[in-house]
Amino acid sequence: MSNVQPSGDAAEIPTELHRSSRDMEVFRAALERALAERFAAGTEHHVGELTGTSATGMSSETLLFDASWKEAGETRVERLVARVAPDEHDVPVFPEYDLAGQFRTIETVANLTDVPVPPPWWCEPDPAVIGAPFFVMGRVDGEVPPDIMPYNFGDSWLFNASPAEQARLQDSTIDVLARLHAIDGPLQRFPHLVGNFPGDTPLRRHVAGRREWYEWATKDSGRSQLIEKGFAWLEDHWPAHESPTVFCWGDSRIGNVLYQDFEPAAVLDWEMAGLGPYELDLAWLAYLHRMFEDMAQQYGFPGMPGFLRLEDAATTYERLSGRSPRDLDWYTTYSCLQFAIVMLRTGHRSVHFGERAAPLDADELIMNSPTLTALIERA
């Protein structure tokens, strides 16, 4: 364990994310009934205690559980994971949670690539079964770089790793992007991700989708002058060249990967998957680390400034994929803006759960507002 201590006041950093008001025992019993219906040939179906994840994630509920049943006279035990759409009353991050689409994405990635994903079991889109749409996957062992406290604040397995181990994790994660982006015919392979947003290019449609997301997110928390300035900046500085369309993981960050020996054992969280230029994934990967670096600097932690730097990630990506990333300043700003919408929504959720008072200005909910301001005001 590291003995790193902050030089500033870090008391305001959250130590847990409040995501749900569901009664877990009621939910467990409903999941047990669903298991019995799914495996009707078996008997004595049982679902153990549901365990949530608190180290990472801001959106869907991820519940770990052990399930058992009798099959041909033998007891079968499986370690499983349920991915569950959030309750609409708990201020979800996104307006829609297409669990069937996420499940289809995982199945397609598993069938077309050697990118490691959790074994998909089944999907139940009908909310009547357990009270919300859900899908079930096999559980994969591994370590996740924690969000709470952020892995780069110290006292995490990644912070304490050697430079060579950190480099192996960085490069192997970028290799995941290269392999996903190499999927041939992404529009045909992932038709459920095409969407119906306006625009004459995939990038135009991607940004239009994020704009629609912002409009939905502000119906409760109030509009953000900063985010609207960000959208205007994107339009004024639109890339002259749009790279070829690929399948994008979407939420391409190391907090969404289970690692074994500093290499991916399972790639998780596909709710932001889409179609667009490959720079979308690369910039998001680097920016989400930069966001934690900004926090580390703010609270007086040393951070990991030599890890996942954008220029290093771009060089590695080009070597692994043969593609040359362009306009990364623009894509970084876009990543920062998207995360600002996440912060706007999760900030409002904190208000909803009584964890903070409602601010007079919605921009006060945006934790990364200084970075977004600097990006859109730079010369």
Instruction: Report the DSSP beta bridge partners of residue 277.
Output: 245
Residue 90 per-residue DSSP state: G
Distance CA 227, CA 358 (A): 18
If one counts every other C-beta atom within 10 angstroms of the C-beta of residue 171, the result is 17
- The pLDDT of residue 15 is above 70: no
Q: Do domains 24-85+97-138 and 151-377 have the same CATH topology?
A: no
What is the rounded CA–CA span in Å between residue 283 and residue 291?
12
Sorted by sequence, the CB contacts under 8 Å of residue 215 that are 6+ apart come out as: none
Q: What is the pLDDT of residue 307?
A: 98
In tens, the pLDDT along 56-80 reads 545 678 999 999 998 888 899 999 9
Q: What is the mean pLDDT of residues 166-189?
A: 98
Confidence band for 367, pLDDT divided at 50, 70 and 90:
very high
Task: Give me the pLDDT at residue 5, please.
Answer: 47
Q: Which residue has the higher pLDDT, 285 or 58?
A: 285
Spell out the residues 6+ positions from residue 198 whose beta carbon is closer than 8 angstroms to its own. Answer: 204, 205, 208
Query: How does residue 350 score in pLDDT terms, banded at 50, 70 and 90?
Result: confident
% of the chain with per-residue pLDDT over 90: 70
Question: What does the angle CA 110 – CA 116 – CA 122 come to, to the nearest 5 degrees?
Answer: 50
Of the listed 175, 251, 281, 363, which one is catalytic?
Answer: 251
* Rama region for 245: left / alpha / beta (φ>0; ψ in -120 to 50; rest): beta
Give percent of the chain above pLDDT 70. 92
Identify the CATH homologous superfamily for domain 151-377.
Aminoglycoside phosphotransferase (APH), C-terminal lobe (3.90.1200.10)
pTM above 0.85, yes or no: yes
Domain boundaries, the chain: 24-85+97-138, 151-377
> Is residue 251 annotated as a catalytic residue, yes or no?
yes
Regarding the domain delimited by 24-85+97-138, which CATH topology (the fold level of the hierarchy) does it fall under? Phosphorylase Kinase; domain 1 (3.30.200)
